[in-house]
Structure 1
């Protein structure tokens, strides 16, 4: 019986023979492939009739157990039964090895997680630990007065440079991730050392400190370019924007600060362009806005208005031109980051300028908004011509132009003129949307029309106080505003009906919806106007009996208005064979019936109550007769 030691020895010998055999088979296969390749290049391909089967060679020992105890035994090679193919050596070897030797686990997830923790996270944590350790060491050395001020700074600079050299050496030895982390730590230590030399110890003045920090930032950018290392670029950007903060003396230097930020932005945008790191653009924009915010909170005064506006415009143009070059001139596909930068840049510039100019130049802010609208519409038009396939970019530019124009109206105009201008704008956009044709432009038209309706219902209907002696029924500012706005909605409905074949999806129901909305606004206006007329009369009277009579007249007039308007809707709906109008009439009849039974019955005096009920009954009978008379036409149209 074999002892365990002899079994181990046999297993070891078998493993060695298998490894030797694998190498032999691989070399033979490579030779065969090389010969076939050479023959194929010299003569027409011929079919191979005899070669070795690598799988059979490897399976030889498994079919001859006696060979395990005799290493020198001969292997029998069977002739091939099919053309040669690359053997699966790993599978063949697993078939031969005894089951007592478990296969090694090759789970990618486990290995990648282990590699991520061991080779990535740990070295970053280690660098942070070293930086913190250096800081604590310096503090401890300072507390015990081991090292003077110059020595502390010198030690920090030497450590930072040492980290940079160490990181370079590691990257040359193919330890890229590890080396980049070490280099990032070196950049951080150098920033901190120069900051300490200037701020803590006053060993150098502001100008040399600025020069050294700019040099460190430049070094970080060059390293990022050389090693294609985004992490180094991020640290350099952070250090570049923190440099003015770390070297601040508490005194204002607006021109120097913003000139430095502008140059830094240009450098970052160039780096982002050449390496296609477009997220750096957004990062630079955010830091620029934070820098401007910090300065304005501390140093801005109205005397610095135009210089501040000049730098604001410069920052806006830097980021706008970069988006322009990326997406229009070079026609790179617009990403979410690009769109975010375009929107944020435009919004920030508009809000900052609005805030700066409103104190002295409020009356001209509407013109500024219109100018911005012209700029964005021009960019959108140019983008449509040069990068038509980039639909998102075109829509963003046009959308920002439309937004600026829409904002210009309430900024420049007052009261009802805002509503009128929006109403006209909605019609123009609808016309352009059908002319283009472009569904999104038509959607923008509907959104603005919705804003018009909101203003009509909740703002423009409240223009006149009850004691206004200048009020003239139906001939006043409110009537003019409602008339223009309602006509605008009818005009949009007309455009939708005329270009019905261009409507898509849910747009097919726009015509009916717009007509019903316009009629609702019209009946709302007439009701408000009539109620206002009687309320003014009511508050002018001092005698209770006359006030009571005026209230009766108001309620009766409103009921009559609704009933007569319903008759008109039914008549038009029957003659034009348009069901939505008839449905609106029925709804209004229902409201009229509810008002007569639950409001007029309790509030009106007897004579007015009688007139209200009798009049409603006559009207309802007349409408019912019309439905009976034209029943066949109505049913025929509905069935169609």
Structure 2
């Protein structure tokens, strides 16, 4: 028990020490409150002192020794108060509704004053505009009154700064906007100031705005005073403004923002300035730009704004070494490409500028190279900023070549550079380089499309038509595929696929886009060559013919056009079938499987509708021999259909194999079986018409098809009963219903008596057989339905 007693005494001593410290803290706290209240209201006792003092006296009279039981009870009842609380355990304060208090504080102290100053500024602007339009007061009086209002607000705001800092900041910022407003109006509309005086006042106001924003440490001053000043030229605009003055005015504002950004780096301020500046400049270029008057002005201020925002972006990055973010990439790229886009457009309108487009692009690359070199040598920022600026060097070097030159090799340069940047980005895990490769991939794709259009579309009208396969465009297509094949291989390496970029939204999109571009290029590369071969044969079959009036015209072999279309269908069927089998054997990718399944179904429908029509045209050419005196039409017009049917069967086989793979995770068996029967019936109908046409029968579409469809309905009924597949039996009934509708509304109108007899008897017998089968196997069908 002595040990327990000794332990209790130790704890009591510690508790006494803590209580004595607490009394000391309370006295110091009381002294601080007294001093604050004395400074505010003289010697008047504050409400807080009145509450705290009795509590201190009470604590002073309490014994320092606390029994063990009381300590335990006190600790069990409530936790120790947070040391950050104003009164700690000295007083009990009932919590108030924080939500109500916070909203009330926000509205009363922040929102209302901002709305008020905006309304005040707008009121001054509207009043000034009204006085201008109605000539109520002279221009000089308007300007003097405007300055008095602005200076009065500044003086009033400064006086209130000690007690009402937020309110004072809003007043000062509004006053600053008014001073901008009045100065611009005095010079631009009334000519009361000479140009030098206006440009002296503007920097003074800007400097004042910078100093005030930094002194108050309030973004609201910069936003209302500087960014809000962008609206000044438009509030008093009567379409007489001078663009040199407008953009000079904006340049001064932006320089002020540069200074603030260097000191504080207030991003919302930078964003607002960036958006307003380029919107105003772009609107002027789009609606008010006059080449004869404004060409030099547009180029000068375009360069000035670009350099200001470039410097603003880099200044804080280089000073504070802030971590690089995605928004920084967007801002730097936007600024660079807006400058390049406007610059390119302006130079394109000038005869000399047209010759300097490549030099202009190269200058962009040199500028970014100098900045990247400075960052690298001085190690001024993180490596991602260096990589981004260096990437811009590569981008503008890439653009400079096709701007000055053209040709298929430009597409290859873009493709190879995209592959290089993507490889560096993944190998070194430099996300910026990988992101820079994405637009180059898109550029390479559009370049390839442009090459295809210019090479294939009008090839037959050129003096030296291209030869299939042995041409530069096909070789460039193959090298393009090599580049994207390399990119796709890098993208699918397991240990490389876990990099940061692969997990982003754009990374996920590009993981689908890269193989899609590869497959598209592979398909179209050979598709266009097949088309080129048959087009060459078609246009090579040209024959000059003179009619009875001796007018000469040219004739081409139509069978060659249809034959070319059929081989394009055959190629498409083969390509998708091979893609399916490769996916089954090697890749085993579900997304690719779904895509190839969808494209395969679309191609299947296209062949059954358009492909069979082209085969019928070849058949007609073989039968009629219309142009036999000019062209030889042989058995190939008939044999080609069976080659196409082989390719169609290969596609159906690959689709059947694909849907049975476990990685597909879809149940497509029933739809595929229905699709298979539709395809068989479609092809069988075409084949029946084909041979009836060759034999000279005239009732193929009526008598022949009706009997065929009735027979196939019977086959489906038999299969449905034998395999216990209700959907086949239902399909048979639907098919037979269509056949009967065709019979009564289409066939009998032109059939002779014998044909009508044959078709009615045939379909009647088929119906009886179907009914017999249903009755014979009704128990089996009932059991199937019950199960």
Do Structure 1 and Structure 2 share a fold, with TM-score over 0.5?
A: yes
Matched, 1:114 2:129: no
Report the 3-state secondary structure (helix = DSSP H, G, I; strand = E; otherwise coil) of the residue aligned with 1:171. Answer: coil
Per-residue deviation, 1:486: 1.8
Q: Give the aligned partner of residue 474 of structure 2.
A: 482
Cα distance in 1, alignment partners of residues 68 and 447 from structure 2: 87
Q: Give the aligned partner of residue 535 of structure 2.
A: 532
Relative distance call for 1:394 and 1:590 in structure 2 (3 A) is farther
Q: 1:234 aligns with which of 183, 201, 223?
A: 223
Cα distance in 2, alignment partners of residues 322 and 425 from structure 1: 30
Relative distance call for 1:124 and 1:464 in structure 2 (3 A) is same
The count of residues paired between Structure 1 and Structure 2 equals 558
Matched, 1:356 2:346: yes
For the 8 Å contact 1:163–1:186, the answer to whether it is kept is yes
Report the 3-state secondary structure (helix = DSSP H, G, I; strand = E; otherwise coil) of the residue aligned with 2:266. Answer: coil
Cα distance in 1, alignment partners of residues 184 and 574 from structure 2: 83
Q: Give the aligned partner of residue 493 of structure 1.
A: 485
Q: Give the aligned partner of residue 265 of structure 2.
A: 276
Q: Give the aligned partner of residue 43 of structure 1.
A: none
For the 8 Å contact 2:543–2:555, the answer to whether it is kept is no
Deviation digits for residues 365-405 of structure 1 (CA, Å, limit 9, x no counterpart): 234334434544675687688478564x4665466455545
Q: 2:464 aligns with which of 446, 467, 470?
A: 470
Q: 1:599 aligns with which of 611, 614, 624?
A: 614
Cα distance in 1, alignment partners of residues 138 and 555 from structure 2: 99
Q: Tell me which moved more, 498-507 or 531-540.
A: 498-507
Relative distance call for 1:617 and 1:314 in structure 2 (3 A) is closer
For the 8 Å contact 2:459–2:465, the answer to whether it is kept is yes
Cα distance in 1, alignment partners of residues 131 and 296 from structure 2: 50
Deviation digits for residues 76-121 of structure 1 (CA, Å, limit 9, x no counterpart): xxx9999996699999999xxxxxxxx9882122222223333334
For the 8 Å contact 2:233–2:246, the answer to whether it is kept is yes
Report the 3-state secondary structure (helix = DSSP H, G, I; strand = E; otherwise coil) of the residue aligned with 2:160. Answer: helix
Matched, 1:411 2:411: no
Per-residue deviation, 1:152: 6.3
Q: Tell me which moved more, 330-339 or 288-297.
A: 288-297
Cα distance in 2, alignment partners of residues 494 and 178 from structure 1: 62
Q: Give the aligned partner of residue 64 of structure 1.
A: none
Relative distance call for 1:221 and 1:49 in structure 2 (3 A) is same
The TM-score normalised by the length of structure 1 is 0.65
Relative distance call for 1:482 and 1:328 in structure 2 (3 A) is farther
Relative distance call for 1:120 and 1:532 in structure 2 (3 A) is same
Q: Give the aligned partner of residue 639 of structure 2.
A: 611
For the 8 Å contact 1:316–1:345, the answer to whether it is kept is yes
Cα distance in 2, alignment partners of residues 299 and 564 from structure 1: 56
Per-residue deviation, 1:533: 1.1
Report the 3-state secondary structure (helix = DSSP H, G, I; strand = E; otherwise coil) of the residue aligned with 1:368. Answer: helix
Cα distance in 1, alignment partners of residues 555 and 124 from structure 2: 93
For the 8 Å contact 2:180–2:202, the answer to whether it is kept is yes
Relative distance call for 1:105 and 1:140 in structure 2 (3 A) is farther
Deviation digits for residues 47-74 of structure 1 (CA, Å, limit 9, x no counterpart): x556997999xxxxxxxxxxxxxxxxxx
For the 8 Å contact 1:265–1:284, the answer to whether it is kept is yes
Report the 3-state secondary structure (helix = DSSP H, G, I; strand = E; otherwise coil) of the residue aligned with 2:226. Answer: helix
Cα distance in 2, alignment partners of residues 91 and 471 from structure 1: 96
Q: Give the aligned partner of residue 13 of structure 1.
A: none
Relative distance call for 1:525 and 1:222 in structure 2 (3 A) is same
Cα distance in 1, alignment partners of residues 380 and 355 from structure 2: 37
For the 8 Å contact 2:250–2:277, the answer to whether it is kept is yes
**1:41-52 alignment to 2 at 5 Å?**
49=66
For the 8 Å contact 2:306–2:336, the answer to whether it is kept is yes
Matched, 1:26 2:26: no
Cα distance in 2, alignment partners of residues 155 and 178 from structure 1: 23
Unaligned runs of 5+ in 2: 1-48, 499-507, 547-553, 624-634, 662-787
For the 8 Å contact 1:164–1:186, the answer to whether it is kept is yes
The TM-score normalised by the length of structure 2 is 0.55
Per-residue deviation, 1:288: 4.5
Per-residue deviation, 1:354: 0.8
Cα distance in 2, alignment partners of residues 494 and 135 from structure 1: 62
**1:375-524 alignment to 2 at 5 Å?**
375-376=367-368, 386=379, 391=384, 393=385, 396-397=388-389, 400-401=392-393, 403-405=395-397, 407-408=399-400, 410-414=402-406, 416-433=408-425, 435-436=427-428, 440=434, 443=438, 446-452=441-447, 454-455=449-450, 460-465=455-460, 467-474=461-468, 479-494=471-486, 496-497=488-489, 500-504=493-497, 516-517=519-520, 519-524=522-527
For the 8 Å contact 1:313–1:349, the answer to whether it is kept is yes
Report the 3-state secondary structure (helix = DSSP H, G, I; strand = E; otherwise coil) of the residue aligned with 2:468. Answer: coil
For the 8 Å contact 1:373–1:401, the answer to whether it is kept is yes
